Every structure is written in C-alpha cells, then in structure tokens.
C-alpha cells in the first residue's frame, strides 16, 4: 500500500508542477563511493560486452558473405526449410541470451545509478541558479560566485539546481556528471573531488544563442586553503549584510 502511495505521489508530481517545486528529500548514502570511478568501471565493462557481441556478429556475417558468394556451381540459394522446432529455437535461445545480458547490464546500471543519486551525509551543499549565460553559485554562508565553484578536496559536493530562464545542464566532464536545471523545479547532482585541480564546467542543454560559451570551472582547493577563502568571503558577506538590515528597518 505504501509502495502504491509512493508511486501515485510520484505520478501526481509528474502531472502537476506545484508539488515538484517542494524540494524532495535526497536519499543519503551509507558510505562514500566515487561515482566517477564507478562510471569508468561500468563503461569499460559495457564496452567489452558490446565489442564481443559486435565482433561475433561481424565475423559470422563476413564468413557467410564469403562462403556463399555466387559462383559457378552456386547459382541458386539453397537454404534448408526450418522445422517448427528450429524456428522456435531460433527465437527462444537468442531471446534468452539477449535478455540475460540486458538484465545483467540493468542490474549493474541500477547499482551505479544509486551511487549517483544517494549523497553522503557529510557534504558541502551549494545552490546553483543557472541563467542565460552563467552559473551562479550560493554557499551555505551566503557567499556567491559566478562561473567558478570553489570546493575543498576530499568532501562530496551536492548542487541543488534551478534556472531563472531556459533549460541548462551543468556538466563536469572530469567528474562524469550532469543534470538539467530548469525553472519551476529543483534538481540535484553530486560529485566527489579528491585531488586539488581545475575542471571544466560546461552547458549541455541547448539554452540559447550563446549556449556554447556558457562555461566555467570547478576549482578544487586543499581543505585548509578552501576554509580560509570560505571564511574570508563569508566575513565580507556579513559586513555587507549588516548595514542593509538597519536600512530596511528605518521605513517601518
């Protein structure tokens, strides 16, 4: 019954925009697994899978083409009539093999999908508002940056994303992750930066004329350096906010 309610609720959320606006609870991961490493692993596995299938099919086809080419003494096709049992076998056996491979890949894919969607509890949470044509990040202490996301090494980063105009998609190729942002909904993605360095962020949902120029960076800093930057910037925000409060109080 609870399952049914969950499904019905999700269907309702699909139908109406209102409920989608409310932020869904994000599932929590019990341990920290790097989704990018998981992606590389599954990608390699699937590449081997499809390469083997492809080579088998290509070799069989090439052999048949060569072996049964038309030549003197082989002017007419001579395919044997399939018996009913053979016809059924040629359906059931391939179906079974394909489905076995499908479900194997689906199981692995589902597991990795959970890694991408379940976010570790110990994390840095940043809000992202995308717009034509910039990425605007807001940190928990109110610090705002544009087109540059500074994060500490060794801590999972969760982005809660929305858009103020058209569709955008926040893609970080080095961390193998993207998700669309759009007006009226809040979506999320997370990644796990482990070494200091700079990584390209780029837009992968056609958003307008300057789509291909909507790029920025993720800058991964050593934790101490990040903390120093974060606190210094946070202090600036507090200073800027203090007089603003007195101003708003005066007319009331």
Partner 1 sequence: MNLKEWIFTTDHKRVGILYLIGSIAAFGVAGIMALLMRAELSAIGPTVTADPTTYNVWLYAHGAIMILGFQIPALTGFFANYCIPLMIGAKDVAFPRVNALSVWLFYVGVILALLTFFIPDPPDVLWTGYPPYSTITAGNTALYSFTVLILGFASIIGGVNFLTTVAFMRAPGLTWGKLNIFVWCILGAFVMQLIFVPVLGSAVTLISFDKYLGTHFFDPAMGGDVLTYQNLFWFYSHPAVYVIFLPFIGVVFEIIATFARNPVFNYKAAVYGGIGGIVLISGEVWIHHLYVSGMPDWLRIGQMVSTLLISVPVGLLVISLVGTLYKGAISFETPMLYALGVVFLFLIGGLTGIPLAITALTVNLSETYYVVGHFHYVMAVAGTFAIFGGVYYWFPKMSGRMYNELWGKIGFWITFVGVNIVFWTMMDIGARIGLPRRYYDYAQFPEAAGAQHLMTVGAVILGVGFVIALLNWIIGAARGPKAGDNPWGSPSLEWSTVSPPPHGNWPSPPSVGEDWSPYAHGRR
Write out the binding residues for partner 1, residues 202-221 only, by CB under 8 A: 202-213, 215
| Of 102-110, 120-128, 148-156, 234-242: span binding partner 1 (CB under 8 A) | 102-110
Least Å distance, CB 116 to partner 1, is 6
Residue 32 CB neighbour total at 10 angstroms: 15
- If one asks whether residue 50 binds partner 1 (CB under 8 A), the answer comes out as yes
Sign (positive or negative) of CA dihedral 133, 161, 238, 233: negative
Identify the residue among 98, 148, 235, 241 touching partner 1 (CB under 8 A).
98
- If one asks whether residue 91 binds partner 1 (CB under 8 A), the answer comes out as yes
Kind and range of the H or E element at 119?
Answer: strand 119-120
Identify the residue among 32, 33, 49, 134 touching partner 1 (CB under 8 A).
49
How far apart are alpha carbons 204 and 211 in whole angstroms? 8
Identify the residue among 135, 137, 171, 226 touching partner 1 (CB under 8 A).
171
Structure tokens at 28: 């929590």
Closer residue to partner 1 (CB): 116 or 192 = 116
Q: Residues 123-162: x/- map of binding to partner 1 (CB under 8 A)? A: ----------------------------------------
Kind and range of the H or E element at 158?
Answer: strand 157-163
Identify the residue among 54, 142, 197, 223 touching partner 1 (CB under 8 A).
54
Least Å distance, CB 54 to partner 1, is 5
Q: 77 φ, ψ to 5°?
A: -60, 150
Least Å distance, CB 149 to partner 1, is 15
- If one asks whether residue 112 binds partner 1 (CB under 8 A), the answer comes out as yes
Near partner 1 in 2-31, by CB under 8 A: 7, 10, 13-14, 16-18, 20-21
Long-range contacts of 208-215 (CB under 8 A, 24+ apart): 208/132, 208/133, 208/166, 210/132, 210/133, 211/133, 213/133, 214/132, 214/133, 214/134, 214/135, 214/168, 215/147
Closer residue to partner 1 (CB): 179 or 233 = 179
- How far, in whole angstroms, is CA 64 from its chain's centroid? 42
Q: Which residues contact 188 (CB under 8 A, 6 or more apart)?
A: 26, 119, 158, 159, 160, 161, 179
- If one asks whether residue 198 binds partner 1 (CB under 8 A), the answer comes out as no
126 strand-pairing partners: 159
Identify the residue among 8, 37, 48, 64 touching partner 1 (CB under 8 A).
64
Phi-psi region of 210 (alpha: psi -120 to 50; beta: other; left: phi over 0): alpha
Identify the residue among 37, 48, 53, 232 touching partner 1 (CB under 8 A).
53
């Amino acid at each position: 019954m609870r399952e049914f309610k969950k499904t019905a609720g999700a269907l309702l959320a699909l139908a109406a925009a209102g409920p989608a606006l409310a932020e869904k609870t994000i599932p929590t991961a019990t341990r920290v697994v790097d989704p990018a490493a998981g992606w590389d692993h599954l990608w390699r596995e699937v590449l081997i899978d499809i390469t083997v299938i492809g080579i088998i099919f290509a070799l069989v086809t090439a052999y048949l083409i060569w072996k049964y080419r038309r030549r003197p003494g082989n002017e007419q096709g001579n395919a044997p009539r399939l018996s009913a049992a053979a016809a059924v076998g040629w359906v059931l056996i391939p179906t079974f093999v394909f489905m076995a491979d499908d479900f194997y890949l689906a199981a692995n894919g589902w597991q990795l999908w959970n890694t991408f969607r379940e976010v570790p509890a110990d994390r840095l949470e940043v809000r992202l508002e995308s717009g034509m044509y910039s990425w605007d990040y807001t940190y928990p202490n109110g610090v705002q940056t544009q087109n540059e996301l500074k994060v500490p090494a060794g801590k999972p980063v969760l982005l809660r994303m929305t858009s103020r105009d058209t569709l955008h998609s926040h893609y970080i190729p080095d961390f193998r992750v993207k998700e669309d942002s759009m007006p009226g909904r809040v979506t999320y993605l997370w990644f796990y930066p482990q070494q200091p360095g700079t990584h390209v962020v780029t837009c992968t949902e056609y958003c307008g004329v300057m789509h291909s120029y909507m790029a920025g960076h993720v800058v991964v800093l050593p934790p101490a350096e990040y903390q120093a930057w974060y606190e210094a910037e946070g202090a600036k925000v507090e200073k800027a906010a203090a007089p603003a409060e007195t101003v708003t109080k005066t007319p009331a």
